[in-house]
A and B are shown apart, each in its own frame.
Chain A
Amino acid sequence: MGRYIAKRLLSLIPVLFGVSLIVFFMVRLIPGSALEMYMGTQVEATPQQMLELKRIFGEDKPVPVLYVEWIGQILRGDFGFSLRTGRPVLPDIISRLPLSLELTVLSLLISLLIGLPQGIMSSLGKNPFLDLINRIIGLLGLSLPQFWLASLMVLAFSGFAGWIPMGNYIPFSENPLKNLQMLLLPATAIGIGFSAVIMRYTRNSMLEVLQMDYIRTAKAKGLKKNVVIWRHALKNAILPVITVVGFNAGGLLSGSIVIEEVFALPGMGRLALYAIYQRDYPLIQAIVLIIATIFVLVNLLTDIVYALVDPRIRLDEGGK
């Protein structure tokens, strides 16, 4: 198992390199250099000041060199300085990371709580009409724009104190209950859409599994229906769902960008958005890189969880 993880981690390195390349060079392509924007407010500067400014804004050397420097800095833990605030970028990101992660995890939990039972019930359903209604509701959940749902929630709940953060965010460490209360609505806004995806995959997976021979064997043994479903069917059906969850977790993370904006939550997503509005390269680079890295790591985590649950994969080296 340990070897499997190590091997997978190693294969991640080239991917992460590619990601960093893309991030860096794409950021460089953003029109309207920050230096120009900054200069717009200054009347003039001496040549020496210009040199210094160029160095600060990273415009004194050719781009590939800057890239290598940047990678070097990152590996040392230095993610650069924000062009707007002048402060180091990493601490700001780190301070906001827990919120975004918590939001993502909560929305995942909510979507599982809603989607899994729905999917299972739907696959067993004896009532085709109810099943149809269920599926349409599921598709409806998939069709809701998150930002719209979020906006409506803000509208509906702004009268009730404590449910809408409104800039007064209380972190988990301070007051867990209030914190959860604050994040419940935003997490639901993200989670509803995903619950529809989970419902569909669970349903399809269960339908397939229930057709399998080993289910027939289980019934032939005289096992109770519940046992057949929960012990025999579900454990098999859940496998593709794990894959889907892992693969889409990144979508949940980026969904938080919009939700944080609407609910005015001081999370990483919102930071990324404003960095983009303000062309704050170092900040953009750092955040996008971190989000993409998290995404990649989540995929790895999914594979590991999958290998833990599916005994057929455990002993094989590398699995696939």
Chain B
Amino acid sequence: MAGKKLKLNAIATTGIIIIAFYLVGIIVSFFWVPFDPVDMDTDHILEGPSFATGHIMGTDEFGRDVFSRIMAGSSISLVISLAGTALGGILGTLLGIWAGYLGGAWDHWMMRFADILFSFPSLLLSIFIMAILGEHTLNVVIAIAIVYIPQFARISRGAILQIKQEEFVRAARSNGATSHYILYKHLLPNIVVPLIVQVSLSLSVAILLESSLSFLGLGVQPPAPSWGNMLSGARKVMAIAPWTAVYPGLAIVFLVLGFNLLGDGLRDILDPRLRNVG
């Protein structure tokens, strides 16, 4: 029945199609790009988009092809976001599970720590972390991960506390190994659903975070292309060469939209209360 619902859910499907589109682009970019994304070509600075020259999205202030840079940037942005979310998600989930399972002082202090991290708005925290770690691509992954740890911890801890209530009585009677098994068997279904939705939505936010950081010069450093730093460079020349700003932005918007659609659609399927009345 879930498969049937998935097919019927237009929103999630649209999201998947969009994401697939990008994935294809990324895979292709490993083998071929129209122009070299990094090579400067001072003869062709700030040329408008035209099929004739092959620069279908124009060139930037250094003569680099915008479209090729977008393609190259997509793999960078997506990989960073995936890695950061995965790292933060796994660490956060583990922390949350431990906190929920162990309870007591452990739980108390871990949640205190999470609360403190929560006291910083995400962007501020990630800017702060980048300032400490240094503006390097790898560090963006770490920054995103740190931002996400408390969020995932909270979700998984909530799930654990729920089952703990249910299984506790039975687990109290059986030996340690059995209670582990019970937790494992019942924990996963309880956790998987909200986690999947959360991951999809977190990916969308991660992409925005990464591009914001790169825009501010605190993320992926030029000349490596990231949609964020492409936009930063475009600021100066936007007035006369709007394509340098429009296309990279659109690239961000659609990929983020794809993940948002997927997450929203999944949530619809997996949490029936929130569907349309009827």
1/0 contact trace for A1-21 toward B, CB 8 Å? 000000000000011001100
- Nearest-neighbour CB distance to chain A for B104, whole angstroms, equals 18
Decide yes or no: A251 and B123 within 8 Å by CB, A15-B115, A144-B253 being known contacts. yes
- What are the residues of chain A within 8 A of B228 when measuring CB–CB? 145, 147
The 8 Å CB contact of A291, one of B124, B208, B231, B238, is: B124
Cα–Cα distance between A14 and B256 once the two chains are bound (Å): 37
**A131 near B276 (CB under 8 angstroms)?**
yes
Nearest-CB residue, chain B, relative to A144: B253
In the complex, B81 has a CB within 8 A of chain A: no
**B124 near A288 (CB under 8 angstroms)?**
yes
1/0 contact trace for B252-278 toward A, CB 8 Å? 111011001100100000000110110
In the complex, A22 has a CB within 8 A of chain B: yes
In terms of DSSP, what is the predominant structure of the interface of chain B? helix
Decide yes or no: A155 and B245 within 8 Å by CB, A18-B112, A142-B260 being known contacts. yes
**A135 near B11 (CB under 8 angstroms)?**
yes
Decide yes or no: A273 and B116 within 8 Å by CB, A139-B264, A142-B260 being known contacts. no
The 8 Å CB contact of B277, one of A142, A144, A210, A288, is: A210
Interchain Cβ contacts within 8 Å, total number: 143
**B132 near A29 (CB under 8 angstroms)?**
yes
Decide yes or no: A14 and B112 within 8 Å by CB, A31-B134, A147-B231, A258-B212 being known contacts. yes
Cα–Cα distance between A251 and B147 once the two chains are bound (Å): 12
Cα–Cα distance between A273 and B235 once the two chains are bound (Å): 17
Chain A: residues with Cβ within 8 Å of the partner, total of 54
- Nearest-neighbour CB distance to chain A for B59, whole angstroms, equals 18
**A211 near B277 (CB under 8 angstroms)?**
yes
- Per the 8 Å Cβ criterion, residues 209-263 of B in contact with A are 211-212, 215-218, 228, 231, 234-235, 238-239, 242, 245-246, 248-249, 252-254, 256-257, 260-261
Decide yes or no: A145 and B252 within 8 Å by CB, A258-B212, A284-B131, A288-B128 being known contacts. yes
**A148 near B124 (CB under 8 angstroms)?**
no
Max chain A CB contacts within 10 Å: which of B124, B231, B249, B254?
Answer: B124
- B residues adjacent to A (C-beta < 8 A): 10-11, 112-113, 115-116, 119-124, 127-129, 131-132, 134, 204, 208, 211-212, 215-218, 228, 231, 234-235, 238-239, 242, 245-246, 248-249, 252-254, 256-257, 260-261, 264, 273-274, 276-277
**A151 near B231 (CB under 8 angstroms)?**
yes
- Nearest-neighbour CB distance to chain B for A127, whole angstroms, equals 11
The 8 Å CB contact of B253, one of A14, A140, A211, is: A140
**A254 near B123 (CB under 8 angstroms)?**
yes
**B204 near A261 (CB under 8 angstroms)?**
no
- What are the residues of chain B within 8 A of A154 when measuring CB–CB? 238
**A152 near B256 (CB under 8 angstroms)?**
no
Decide yes or no: A26 and B119 within 8 Å by CB, A148-B231, A207-B277 being known contacts. no
